Amino acid sequence: MDGVQKERQDLQPVFLTLTMRNCSAAEMNGTLDAIFKGWNQLMANKRMKRLIAGYFRALEITYNEQEDTYHPHIHAILLMPPSYFTTPKDYMGIMDWVKVWRKAAKLDYDPSCDIRAIGTGSDKSGAVAEVAKYTLKSTDYLKDDEKLTDKLVSEFGKAIKGRRLYAYGGIMKEVAKQLDIDAKDNFTPGEIRDKAGNILRKDIDYILSNYRWNVGLTRYDYEGQG
């Protein structure tokens, strides 16, 4: 977002959530196929291609313990031109998003969607980071109940194997490629650097966590400090 701001200060980020109905563990693969195909169809939509200058999208899967069902959904940060907020033909309310998502995902019901503006001030990257940190979290599958944790890790692992859980598009993809960020090579607590060694941000709070699978005890052991 820092890189995007340098190139296109006019772009405004919005936070979009796209959902489908809950599914069983046996239905999860098919549901994930449908949600990713739906996203690709949505991004191919002429109106979306005209409006969305860039995006970051991530998959989250939550678990409903009462019903023993799974809820895959997409969180996305879309970069929109100022006209999205000022021009009636460009603006899309909740029901507009419901309509286009239903069509793109080929659903026979109105799905739940949410769209909201974020970072309308000067520090757009900070606002985006604040929102994005909630999209993928360990609390979705690491529970106090060890047997439940084992079950969720197993089911999630089978469902997401070989899938791309997050992706960039448009100007976000271009800037990410230019920065050539590689977390494996450049992770330093409290800093984000590119491959040239340039510090991109210093002001990020961090938590270091190490989850290790203990085969003998068939559970996750937690080690770490914040």
* 150, containing H or E segment: helix 146-160
Count of the separate structural domains present in the chain: 1
Q: Is 162 helix (H, G, I), strand (E, B) or coil?
A: coil
Quick check: 53 and 170 in contact, CB under 8 A? Answer: yes
Mind listing the pLDDT tens digit for each residue in 112-127?
Answer: 999 988 866 667 777 7
> Residue 222: which residues within 8 A CB-CB, separation 6 or more?
142, 209, 210, 211
The mean pLDDT value for 144-153 works out to 86
162 domain-assigned = yes
192 domain-assigned = no
Quick check: 106 and 40 in contact, CB under 8 A? Answer: no
pLDDT of residue 180: 74
The pTM assigned to this predicted structure is: 0.76
Mind listing the pLDDT tens digit for each residue in 47-57?
Answer: 999 999 999 99
198 domain-assigned = no
pLDDT of residue 200: 57
Counting beta carbons within 10 angstroms of the beta carbon of residue 201, is it exposed (0 to 12), middle (13 to 18) or buried (19 or more)? middle
112 domain-assigned = yes
Cα diameter, the chain: 61
Domain that holds residue 87: 2-179
79 domain-assigned = yes
Mind listing the pLDDT tens digit for each residue in 160-217?
Answer: 888 888 889 999 999 888 887 544 444 444 455 555 666 655 554 443 344 444 444 4
Q: What percent of the chain has pLDDT over 90?
A: 43
